[in-house]
Amino acid sequence: MTSYAAKLSALVAAGALIATVAIPAYAGFGTAVAAPHRTATVQTMTIESTVAIPAAARDGYSVTKPKPVVVAAPSIAAGATGRSLSNANRFNASMINPPAQAYSGAAVIQYAAQFVGKVPYGMGNTPQTSFSCDGYTQYVFAAFGISLPRGADHQARLGVQISKANAVAGDLVYWPGQHVGIYDGAGGMYNSPTWGRYVEHVSSLWGNPLFIRLTV
């Protein structure tokens, strides 16, 4: 009897042990046992994507064709030696009279004087456009049948040098390599001077010009 009871007790004890082992430690009876905290490692996956970035907008602009630049030649005040470009009248062929007499110094001066203040200085040799210094003398003498080349030096070679004391109206006043005009017989000359001015008469001469008498 004692032996049977002992075996029964041993079986009960073994069953209890097995039950204890099978039940998780946190599943106790009558007492709430907090479940252990688990730390999970979460791996983050980086997804690369191509995003179209709009180009920066440009400021608005317009294209304007450049206007031609006009370089104004310097003008001088109106006076006895000439007229400013802004105040002088345009050339009018009706203002100019042809030579009224045969070639002479006086006739040359009378004809040359008609262009004063009417024709601007330029590279031309006609009053409809402009007169360079040699273009002016060429045009004036052509009215008397005397053909002169362009160029002050070339014109001077067609005459002979004379002294100032012997110079008369209609002779050339000449600065070698620089300028030429028509002597007025009284210490001055008619000439087309420089940019920004018109044909003019000056009462005195500068420097040491040469006096040339045409022999053509």
Dist. CA 192–CA 201, nearest whole Å: 9
Residue 78 token pair: 């109106």
Q: Which of 37, 179, 201, 208 is catalytic?
A: 179
Q: Active site includes 97?
A: no
Q: Residues of 50-74 as b/e, b for ≥16 C-beta within 10 angstroms?
A: eeeeeeeeeeeeeeeeeeeeeeeee
Which residues sit opposite 201 in a β-bridge? 190
Q: Which of 89, 133, 154, 201 is catalytic?
A: 133
Residue 20 token pair: 């204890």
Q: Which of 89, 154, 166, 191 is catalytic?
A: 191
Sign of CA dihedral 127, 203, 193, 151: positive
The answer to whether residues 161 and 172 touch, using CB atoms and an 8 Å cutoff, is no
Residue 104 amino acid letter? S
Residue whose tokens read 């009706």: 94
Q: Active site includes 37?
A: no
Q: Active site includes 191?
A: yes
Tell me the catalytic residues.
Answer: 133, 179, 191
